[in-house]
Each structure stands twice: as C-alpha cells, then as structure tokens.
Structure 1
Amino acid sequence: MTIRAFDFAHQGTKPNPKHVQSLLKFFESGIKKPDNYGFGVEIEHLPIRKSTGKAVTYAEPHGIRNVLQALASHYDPTREYYEDGHLLGLGKPGISVSLEPGGQIECSLGVLRHADDLDALYAEFRRDLDPILDRFDIRLINYGYQPDTSYKEIEIIPKHRYHAMQKYFARIARYGYCMMRASASTQVSIDYFSEKDSIDKLRIGTAVGPILAWFFRNTPFFEKEPNPFPLLRQEMWDWIDPQRTNQLWGLYDDNYDWEHYATDVLTTPVFIADLSHTPEYTGDRPVFAAPYDDAAAIYPDRELNQAEINHLISTHFNDVRLKNFVELRHWDSLPVERAQRLTEIVSGLFYSQEMFSGLLTYFDGLTALDVRAAKADLQAHGADAHPYGQSLDFWREFLHAEGTLDTEPGDPERPDVFQS
C-alpha cells in the first residue's frame, strides 16, 4: 500500500473550492508548447562597501536606496515599485530589479530563449548599474552569505512583507534572520508542457537540485567565520518552516497533481495577507495583515485574481516551486559565468527529451525519504557523499555537469567567486 503523505498533512482543513479552481486555471495558463520554451534566471547580489568590506543597507547614507534612485533613469518609470514612498523595485523589458530583505540586489532576467542569452542581458544590467555603484563606493559580490557582516548588523528594508516575515520566522526558525538579511541565491525557472510534465519536473528538480547545489556551492563564510556547512543554503531553508519549505508535501505520492499543490498552498497558514489587489477590501484591517490563518478565512468567496494567487504562492519557499512555470531554488548566488553554466545544465536536463526521459527512468520509484536521505548525506559527508547510492563523480557525468568546480569556495584559484 502506498502511504500518501499529502493526505496526512492536511487532515481537518479544506480550501475554498473557488480558490482551488482559480489556482488550477493559473497553472493551466502556464502550459507551453514544446517548441516555445524559455528560461528565467534570478541572481541576487550582496552589496558591500568597497572601503570596509561591510554590508551596505537600504537606508544608510550612500546606500541601496540611493543606488535605486540613481538607477531609475535607465528603467521604465511606469514599472517603479514603491511602498510608503520608498523606492523598492525597477523594471524594463527583460530586466527587473528588486530587493531582498537585507537590501540584497536581485536582477530577474528573461524570458531567455537560450542559456547563452543570459550573458548579454546581464551585461546590460551591469552596464547601467556599475557606474552608480562606483559613485557610492559599493561593490556587488556573488556569495551565498555575507563574508564580513553578521545578520545582526543588517536592517530589513521598509517593506511590509519582509517585516511580517521577520516577525513570523523569529518565532519558528533557527536561521530565519540569517536567511533574510545576509544570504543570496541564484534561481532558474523553466517551462512545462502539461500537468504531468510539470509534476515530473517538480520531482526531478527536487531530486537533483541538492547535487547541483554541491557542484555550484559558493558560500565560504557564515557569520564572519569559515562556513561549517557543505550546503549552508540547504541548512538554513530546510529548518525554517516545515509547512512551506523543503520538499513539497506528497510530491512523490503516485496521485500527486495540481489540486494537491493548490490545497497545500491554500490550507497552509498565511503569515501575511496582501489585500492591496482585493477589490472588496474595506479598510477593516491593514492592507498587509498578518492573520496566521488560511486563505479561505482571508480572501473573498470567489475565484482569486492573479495578484492574490501570486502572493499566496510566494509565501511558500519549497526547494522547487510551481507558479505558471517551475522555479528551481537550490543554489547560492553565482557569478554570471557560473550561472550561465548552471542554466546550460538545467536546459539539457529538463528540455532535452532524451535526457529528461533518462532521468525519469533512473528515478522511477523515488520516494520523499530517498530525497531526504540524499540531502542529509550531502550535508553530512560533503565530497565523500553518495547521494542515491552513487558517487559525486558519477553524478557529475550523469548530470552532464562537466566544467563545474571541484575546489572549495574562496580558494585562491577561484577568483571568479568574489566578483565585482
């Protein structure tokens, strides 16, 4: 008998059927034709002061707020994002600039049609930004964690969502503050061609993501000391909130589908409800409320609109996340050359029919416990790990990950990791 983990995870909770239907339509809207796929790549950068090596925060003099204000002239003024008068985001075709909680500067690039398109679009982003950074004595680095600044020294940016997250994670998460204020990542998004294809990609991405995280590890420091964890990002996220991080509940059950995913999203307590795009909002509570209740108690009895859907999904932080695309979230911040290599590998694994079929065959019968064991093996044994019973040399060849680096982050022969 198959034990259906999902059925146990949500006993006694039922989502609003109209909300479920709206998520199903949203997922269906993401279906692409196999000849029309693309990528999205997000690279988060840690800002440091050139003269001191310390993290640069949003509100300090010559800080990240000043950088965004100066950068705005290069972007579409209709896509500027403000909260309470604070400029927090910019956009133009192909490039969006946003801030993570500790002032980390994220560029979202795409839709890319080929992995090698990343270099040109990223070069455009840096062409506009670098002279401004120089003016304010700031350098952007690509590490998974601030090298010489503790999370305690970094202020959260003035964004309601992030202050609610900080309050919530402070109650339940060992590394919540660390993750929010001082970490940075690289994420790659891919398209799917059917409901089954999206579930297959969620499963395979969840299985191989930690192995690729090892090959692309890039976190030499943690809280101003040498990083003790082979995979710091995994260590932080796996223990932040079991309701919304790590693996998706029930993903490897044989009946898992979009309705299961929607139910998971809709029945998990919402740590902050964004009512700014809810037409029925009457002002009876703050626009950004922190009710710690599920979606059925927060949103009206109707199908959710796209802004409400995007917000609810964005309050889940699983290793691999389903939107109207599949978002792979395992990896440290990477210099663009390594991010492009990662995107090339992802392209081969997920868009080559032959390679993806081979992965599905190899991982047939995989369970959630198998994935958990593989992650624990990598975290406990590093280079000596044998995830899924195979050596890392095997996985480098099997995942076509040749060209990734064997030395530890921060080694002298790896000048690329500390990139300006």
Structure 2
Amino acid sequence: MVTPRISYAHLLAKPNPKHVESLLKFFEAGCSKRGTGGFGVEIEHLPVHNSDDTAVSYYEPNGIETLLKRLAPYYDESKEYWENGHLVGLGRKGVSVSLEPGGQVETSIGILHQPSDLNQLYGQFRREADPILDELGFRLVNYGYQPKSSFADVPVNPKDRYDAMTDYLGRVGQFGPCMMRCSASTQVSIDFVDEQDAIDKMRVGTAIGPILAWFFRNTPYFEGRVNPYPLLRQRMWDYLDFQRTNVIPGLYDQRFTWEDYAIDVLSTPLMFADLTHTPEAVASGVSRKELHRAAFRENAGDVYPDRELNAYEINHIISTHFNDVRLKNFIEFRHWDSLPIERAERLTEIIASLYYVPSNRIRLESYFDGLTEEDVFEAKANIQAHGRESNPYGQPLDFWREFLGLEGLLEDVPGDPKHPDVFQR
C-alpha cells in the first residue's frame, strides 16, 4: 500500500513552468551515453599552519591566495576564475581547484573510469602543490573539521555569494557558520542512464550514505575540542536548514519524478541570487555586487526571467540545495568527511562496486524495497545516538560491513581521538 502524499504546493509560490521544463531538460541531458561506469570525486582539504595547526586564511601573507597564484602555471590560463580582483579557482583537463567559504581547497577530479585513476590524478595535484606548501609553511589536511580553529577565527574568502550565505546561515539552524568555514568533505558522483535509473540510485544512496559515513568517519575534533558527535558532518547538515538539506522530500514515494524534485528546488528561497550569467541583468548595468545578492525570501521564479534557464542559472539554483544526495546532470553523494587519498580511493571502489556491478545493485534495491523517508531519519538518528552499538534499519554494523562489502576497513579509524594519526594536543 502506497502512503498518500501530502502536498504543500498550495502554500508555496508556484515555480515558473518554463523553469521546471529547463531543469527537466538539464537532467535529461545528463543521461550517460557511455552507459554506466563513470564517476567523479571531490576532496576538500583544510589548510593549517605547520607551526600550530591553526587554520590558514585566504588573505594572510603566504596564505591560500598565494598558493593558488603559485599553482596557476600548472593549470589552463583560460580556466582561471577571479572574483573581486582575487584568484579563487583553477582548472585543466581532469582536475579543477576551487575554494569553499573558509578557504578549504577543493580538488574536483573526473571523469574517472577506474578507482585507480583517482590516485593518479590526485597524486599529480599533490606533487605540484606540496613543494609550494612547504615553502609557504602550511599543509592541506584531510579531516571533516578544522583540528584547532573555531569558525569565529576563519574569515570567508572573497566570493560575493559568501556574504549572503553568512548572513542567511547565521540566522537559521544551528551550524551554518561552522559548516561554511571549518568543515570539509569527500563527495562522489556517478552516472545515470534515465529518470528511473537516477531515482533508484538516489534512493539507495540516501539509505546507505549514513552507514558508509560511519565506516569512513574522519572528524576527531570540533571547535578545538574532542568531537562529541558520532557523525559530525551529518549532524551539521541535518540541523542546518531543513528546507534545503537532509532527505529529498517525497523521494521514497513510488510516484516521485524528476518534476517533483525540480518543483521542490524551484519553490525554495534561493538564499542568494547569482545573476552574473543572466544576460538581462548584466545588460542592465547593475554593479557586480548587485549581480550577487541576498535572496532570503525569493525563489527562482522571483529572481530569473520568464524564459528557459541557461545551464549556469540551473547549476546555481541546484547548488543552493544541500540534500544528502543531489541530482544535477549526474548524481552527487554528499555524506562523507574529507578523506586521505587511500581511504577516498577505497570509498570510490565501494561505490563503483555497489552501483556498477549489477548483482550488487539488484541486491541493494531489493533489500531497501518499501523503504520510507521516516526509516532513513530513524537510521540516521540511531547511529547518532548509539555509535558503534547502533542498529540502522534494524541491523548491527557488523551486518552492514559484510552486506556493503566493507571487509578490511579498520574500526579504529583516524576519526577516533585515540587513533595515533590525529593531532597531538
């Protein structure tokens, strides 16, 4: 029996039908012509001083901006990204380097076809960056949260959008400024071939993501103290802003479609508007600051013209949603702390095995058949409440270790304060 859906559409500003159609075409264009097998990986790094393990800022002498400028010769000059006179991004074939709000350095790698490709491309990035970092006196570490610094000690980088994000996320939820300035993640993206394939993968990924997050947890400290949360990243996002985080509303209803997802995204206030690639706004002659402005009460229909949206506008709108699993023109899993490359490669191997080996995928979809949003909420809460003794979906963690092919993963991982790899206090 299918639980009736409760519609709140009458309470929302209805999205522009042309905008809905734009997102549907965008998703459709993402259907992989290669079949399934490709994936991408994003690894965020926390910059810390060698002298005292405190956070490195964008603006300080020999800080993040200096690192980017020193790295620039290794990248394509045509793919440099500048904002307000500051270098904030680099790109070349296979790898791009960008910044998160607190100066976290993100490497985006793909499209990959084998997990081993990740190590090769990432290794090249580190061979170029590490000698520069040694000269600058800081390093890039892979933890889910800054080991010593508080969010209050970390300024945001010079992207205009982050002023609006700081204002908005400082007024809602519990952990907005912490997430923006001090957290770091590993994200894995995979292909889909059609609408049903995408939805099936999103459902399974949403269900197993918290379990994988437990086995790949990597956050020993929070705000300069031992981290009290079994899964800090999940805790931060779940308590951030419910209208744009957690489980996608309606995902486990069997009638869920891309259109439902598009309507949810388009009906939610944008948080901030990016009009830098909206020709009508640019032609109006408004300042760059006005092209990046707060939009706390406005959704996409209030901000963008009555026409089909372009790809930049679509990507921006989707980027203001932070669900556990996010649909773009690929599927993005967002559950995991920043990981060192060896563990990131292992995670990628597991994702590839679960999604691209047909027997494994059939087994997963069969096991989770009939799952509800409430089941996922309960599983997440169970892990947060009980840690090693948790029983997500009614099964102990030893069951999930075997079921998800996690044999060989150590239980005593660097995310535990007693592990020898963590910072000495």
TM range, normalised to the smaller chain? over 0.9
What are the equivalent positions in structure 2 for 1:145-224 lying under 5 Å apart?
Answer: 145-224=145-224
1:386 equivalent among 383, 386, 391:
391
1:341 equivalent among 343, 346, 349:
346
Q: Percentage identity across aligned positions? A: 59
- Give the residue type in structure 2 aligned to 1:45: H
The CA RMSD measured in Å over matched residues stands at: 1.5
- Give the residue type in structure 2 aligned to 1:94: G
Distance 1:169 1:270 in 2: 12
Distance 1:296 1:90 in 2: 32
Q: 1:239-295 CA deviation, whole Å, 9 max, x = no partner? A: 100110001011111110100010011110111111111111114571012122011
2:122: which partner in 1? 122
- Give the residue type in structure 1 aligned to 2:222: F
- Give the residue type in structure 2 aligned to 1:213: A
Q: Cα distance, 1:50 vs. partner? A: 0.3
For normalisation by structure 1, the TM-score amounts to: 0.96
Distance 1:389 1:307 in 2: 43
Q: Cα distance, 1:406 vs. partner? A: 0.1
Q: 1:161-210 CA deviation, whole Å, 9 max, x = no partner? A: 11111110011021101111111000000001110000011110000000
Q: What is the SS of the residue equivalent to 1:171?
A: coil
Are 2:50 and 1:50 aligned? yes
Q: Cα distance, 1:372 vs. partner? A: 0.2
Native 8 Å contact 2:36 2:193 kept in 1: no
1:243: which partner in 2? 243
- Give the residue type in structure 1 aligned to 2:104: Q
Q: 1:113-149 CA deviation, whole Å, 9 max, x = no partner? A: 1111110000000011011101100111111001111
What are the equivalent positions in structure 2 for 1:34-73 lying under 5 Å apart?
Answer: 35=35, 37-73=37-73
Q: Cα distance, 1:9 vs. partner? A: 6.3
1:366 equivalent among 362, 371, 375:
371
Are 2:143 and 1:139 aligned? no
Q: What is the SS of the residue equivalent to 2:243?
A: coil
2:358 equivalent among 345, 353, 362:
353
Distance 1:283 1:4 in 2: 49
Native 8 Å contact 1:10 1:267 kept in 2: no
Aligned length: 417
Distance 1:90 1:183 in 2: 21
1:16: which partner in 2? 16
Distance 1:387 1:107 in 2: 32
Are 2:294 and 1:290 aligned? yes
Native 8 Å contact 2:161 2:293 kept in 1: no
Distance 2:260 2:63 in 1: 43
Q: What is the SS of the residue equivalent to 2:40?
A: strand
**Using a 3 Å threshold, how does the CA distance of structure 1 residues 41 and 10 change in structure 2: closer, same or farther?**
farther
Q: 1:333-383 CA deviation, whole Å, 9 max, x = no partner? A: 000000000000000111111111111110000000000000000000000
Native 8 Å contact 1:155 1:181 kept in 2: yes
Native 8 Å contact 1:246 1:319 kept in 2: yes
Q: What is the SS of the residue equivalent to 2:280?
A: coil
- Give the residue type in structure 1 aligned to 2:304: Y
Q: Cα distance, 1:14 vs. partner? A: 1.2
Q: Cα distance, 1:297 vs. partner? A: 1.1
Are 2:308 and 1:326 aligned? no
Distance 1:9 1:167 in 2: 28
2:86: which partner in 1? 86
**Using a 3 Å threshold, how does the CA distance of structure 1 residues 266 and 126 change in structure 2: closer, same or farther?**
same
Q: Cα distance, 1:37 vs. partner? A: 2.9
**Using a 3 Å threshold, how does the CA distance of structure 1 residues 390 and 15 change in structure 2: closer, same or farther?**
same
Q: Cα distance, 1:12 vs. partner? A: 3.8
Native 8 Å contact 1:9 1:249 kept in 2: no
2:96: which partner in 1? 96
Distance 1:10 1:337 in 2: 49
2:7: which partner in 1? 7
Are 2:393 and 1:398 aligned? no
Distance 1:294 1:262 in 2: 12
**Using a 3 Å threshold, how does the CA distance of structure 1 residues 278 and 396 change in structure 2: closer, same or farther?**
same
- Give the residue type in structure 1 aligned to 2:158: P
Native 8 Å contact 2:79 2:90 kept in 1: yes
Q: Tell me whether 175-184 or 36-45 shows the greater mean CA deviation.
A: 36-45
Q: Cα distance, 1:226 vs. partner? A: 0.5
**Using a 3 Å threshold, how does the CA distance of structure 1 residues 413 and 297 change in structure 2: closer, same or farther?**
closer
Which ranges in structure 1 are unaligned for 5 or more consecutive residues? none
2:278: which partner in 1? 278
- Give the residue type in structure 1 aligned to 2:186: T
Q: Tell me whether 10-19 or 58-67 shows the greater mean CA deviation.
A: 10-19
Native 8 Å contact 1:4 1:250 kept in 2: no
Distance 2:4 2:65 in 1: 48
2:30: which partner in 1? 30
Show structure 1 runs of 4+ deviating over 6 A.
none
**Using a 3 Å threshold, how does the CA distance of structure 1 residues 82 and 208 change in structure 2: closer, same or farther?**
same
